[in-house]
Amino acid sequence: MANSYYEYKGDNYYCYPNSFILKNKLNIKSETLLEEAERQITAVKILDLKMNPMKGDLNFEHLLNIHKYIFDDIYEWAGKTRSVNISKGSRFCNYAFINNIANETFSELHNDNYLIGLTEEEMIAKLSYYLGELNAIHPFREGNGRTQRVFIEYLAYAAGYYVDFSKVSSNEMIEASADSFLCDYRKMKSLFHNIIDKIPITEQENFIKSITSKGSILIKTFDYWKNNKASS
């Protein structure tokens, strides 16, 4: 959690009076205790999301729902975009523009066919780009990194690749994210090189069918690519 990680002015909506501690459903007012409770609760939720992927169409709503599931036991605003501006060295997207910028980003992802059919090098470049974009938007008051990583794992799996962020240290991710904020993706690409593996097409197809409904744009995109691959 570590609220000192962010730079911001008065935040009475999210924090207890005269503190940087986020208001929470557990009514914990110790930063250390809240951080530990959050770590334990979210670890269980994230593990469940890996074992039982959340249904969705890899769009902004899907990202919001992932955040809600992970943090709903802790924060009233889980799954909702933030209403304050925050920064971490560089200022993240102005809260007033989060929905517009996010919708543009997910529209771009749709136009990229959800990255289905890319080579490994192409996949690494695109995953680096989209993780960087989601980080720059930083739609939530807290819990952006954990939510982004679950979403990127889903995106990669639907595109035929397994990504294992457990191999990445916190410092490595922070440094790569900071550079990608400035459109320098070299560290992020290097990071993905070490954590990505191709999966069988049957696993890819089963995963897509498990998270989305029949006739969805994601399934149609996959079927179109699969049919073209078979005929080529």
pLDDT tens-place string over residues 119-167: 999 999 999 999 999 999 999 999 999 999 999 999 999 999 999 999 9
CATH class of 3-231: mainly alpha
Alpha-carbon distance 87 to 150, whole Å?
22
What six digits make up the tokens of 145? 């990194």
For tokens 């819990």, the residue is: 143
Query: What average pLDDT does range 40-66 have in this prediction?
Result: 97
Q: What pLDDT score was predicted for residue 219?
A: 96
Domain ranges (residues) in the chain: 3-231
What six digits make up the tokens of 71? 């943090």
Contact (CB, 8 A) for 65 and 79: yes
- Residue pLDDT, tens place only, 2-21: 443 445 555 778 999 988 89
Q: What pLDDT score was predicted for residue 232?
A: 67
- ∠ at Cα 72 (71, 75), nearest 5°? 75
Residue 87: strand, helix, or coil:
strand
Mean pLDDT over each residue of the chain, to the nearest integer: 93
